[in-house]
Amino acid sequence: MFDFSDVTTPLHAFLSRLLGESLAVVTECVLVAVALISIYAVFAMIMIYAERKVCAAFQCRIGPDRVGKWGWLQVISDVLKMMTKEVINLRQTDRFLHRIAPFLVVTASMTTFACLPWNKGAQIIDFNVGVFFFLAVGSVGVVGILLAGWSSNNKYSLIGAMRSGAQIISYELSIGMVMLTMICLTGTMSFSEICQQQADLGWNIFRGHIIALPAFIIYLIAGNAECNRGPFDLPESESELTAGYHTEYSGMDFGYYYLAEYLNIVVCAGIAATIFLGGWAPFVVPGLDGFNEVMSMIPGFVWFVGKTFFVIGLLLWQRWTFPRLRIDQILTLEWKYLIPISMTLLIGMALLVSFGLTF
């Protein structure tokens, strides 16, 4: 199995020798940041393209196919368009908050993105309370959304932002609860350890079996709601609130919301892949040694990205099937269904673990 620390350790040693310890760390930080941002951008583009094509296929359409072969240049031209468009500052807005809000959203999404374990040893933010950190940073995004709604001085925006606040804060509960269920199984909050454990013992979704599967589904629902994605896209529900909290944004400021929305899906799917589907751990079947060997040959990041896209596929599938919920239905779903079920799951998992019924 390819270990990314095989690359980083010699690099670190080389840089330390060249620049001294402290400068080396600074250089590494810059390198990592550049890598992170470029991966982030690449993933955003892939996501936008994938969403368009997949949604088109569900809708009996072809999707973008004019710019470049199969329309693969479409996203690039869109990004160029977005970047060159004027950022309009409206007179009645709260200028400072209005400008800062998209950055909060994009920062939150980028920081959570940094939590993803790409490969063995290839993790940017990793420490013993990684899950906790992920949850904490992820909720900064809602501040950005609320600020956007408030500072826009637009009634639609305000309603959208308020809906978003109610929705995200509620769904964080069940996300936390589901994660707790899985932590109960793994016994650690560090993403790298969770992955390592799954590489050694098998994927959590198999280990936790009857509890982990519903937990996975709840995670997908709640994660989807956290991303403000359909059918939970009420904060921006275009048929009611035109564009909700980002009605008054234009140009790249709007682009940040757009970017953050797509990346949040990647993050949501990536965390689902990490916690339930083994992260970078290959698919192994005990006893089939030949098969397992072939599987282990495939590098970890391929596994991780593959699983992430599988989960993204599930999310897209349901997003392009269901009608949007109403705000009271969203809260009913959370408080009357998801929370009680996830609590039951937590207790169930605790029982499984204490009786040793996990694999």
Q: Which of 324, 331, 343, 344 binds other proteins (CB under 8 A)?
A: 324
Is position 335 an interface residue for other proteins (rule: CB under 8 A)?
no
Question: Residue 221 CA to chain centroid, in angstroms?
Answer: 13
What lies within 8 Å, CB to CB, of 16 at 6+ separation is: 24
Q: Which of 11, 25, 32, 56 binds other proteins (CB under 8 A)?
A: 56
Tokens at residue 171, please?
A: 């769904």
Residues 147-186 vs other proteins: string with x where CB under 8 A? --------xx--x---------------------------
Q: Output 234 or 345, the one with its CB closest to other proteins.
A: 234
Number of residues that bind other proteins (CB under 8 A): 34
Q: Which of 102, 121, 230, 270 binds other proteins (CB under 8 A)?
A: 230
Closest CA to 179 of 239, 147, 226: 226
At residue 355, what are phi and psi to the nearest 5 degrees?
A: -90, 0
Reading the block at residue 359, the tokens are: 């694999």
- Numbers of helices and strands, H then E, in the chain: 16, 0
Q: Is 70 in the site for other proteins (CB under 8 A)?
A: no
According to the binding rule CB under 8 A, does residue 210 interact with other proteins? no
Of positions 318, 343, 344, 350, contacts other proteins by CB under 8 A: 318
Q: Which of 61, 81, 95, 209 binds other proteins (CB under 8 A)?
A: 61
Among the listed residues 20, 337, 347, 359, the single contact to other proteins using CB under 8 A: 337
DSSP assignment string, 90-127? PTTS-HHHHHHHHHHHHHHHHHHHHT---BTTB-SS--
Compute the distance between CA of residue 165 and CA of residue 309 in angstroms, rounded to an integer. Answer: 28
Instruction: Return the number of the residue (234 or 305) whose C-beta is nearest other proteins.
Output: 234
User: By CB under 8 A, is residue 231 in contact with other proteins?
Assistant: yes
Residue 238 sits in the site that holds other proteins (CB under 8 A): yes
**What long-range pairs does 2-10 form, CB within 8 A, spacing at least 24?**
2/119, 2/120, 2/299, 2/300, 3/119, 3/120, 3/121, 4/118, 4/119, 4/120, 4/121, 4/122, 4/300, 5/120, 5/121, 5/122, 6/121, 8/121, 8/122
Contact pick of 106, 234, 275, 315 for other proteins (by CB under 8 A): 234
Shortest distance in whole angstroms from residue 159 CB to other proteins: 7
The binding site for other proteins (CB under 8 A) comprises: 55-62, 65, 155-156, 159, 230-231, 233-234, 237-240, 242, 317-318, 320-329, 337
